[in-house]
Amino acid sequence: MKTFKDKMDKISDQLGLTYDGGTDDRLFVEEMVRVDVRQMSEVEYDDMETYLNSNEIVGDGFVIYAWNDCSGYDYWLDQSESFDFNYIQVTVSINNIDLVDIEELDIQLEKFKNNVSSYDNIDTADFSRKEA
């Protein structure tokens, strides 16, 4: 009989997600959306955080949601000046692994990632300066 970990490993492998193992019920999308707050007004930033905190997709056995470091507009504005950008992490929480249809999860995950990706506003040249 397959264990919870075996089932999570299967979903993780099939969908290219990161699974930390054990009894953790979360799977993480590897690519985070990066946000350069210098390109946003404070209202736009607040709208983004409101969107992230109020949107999720609930399916049979899973919930897809996104979160970010909510240190606030002023903090991330300062951090962006030194090319340290805020991020959005898309996460899947499995609440009943036996109900999860992997194909349906994949469809809903892609839909959610596409919605959140609209906040990706990083100039790749700026991001590479941070990496240097």
Q: Quick one: 3 exposed, middle or buried, by C-beta within 10 A (0-12, 13-18, 19+)?
A: exposed
Q: What are the structural domain ranges in the chain?
A: 4-119
Q: Which residues contact 77 (CB under 8 A, 6 or more apart)?
A: 37, 38
Q: Average pLDDT for residues 19-36, to the nearest whole number?
A: 90
Amino acid at 74: D
Question: What are the tens digits of pLDDT across the range 75-122?
Answer: 999 998 888 889 999 999 999 999 999 999 999 999 999 999 888 887
| Alpha-carbon gap, residue 4 to 107, rounded angstroms | 22
Cβ neighbourhood burial of 22 (10 Å; 0-12, 13-18, 19+): exposed
Res 65 pLDDT > 70 = yes
Looking at the whole model, is its pTM more than 0.85? yes
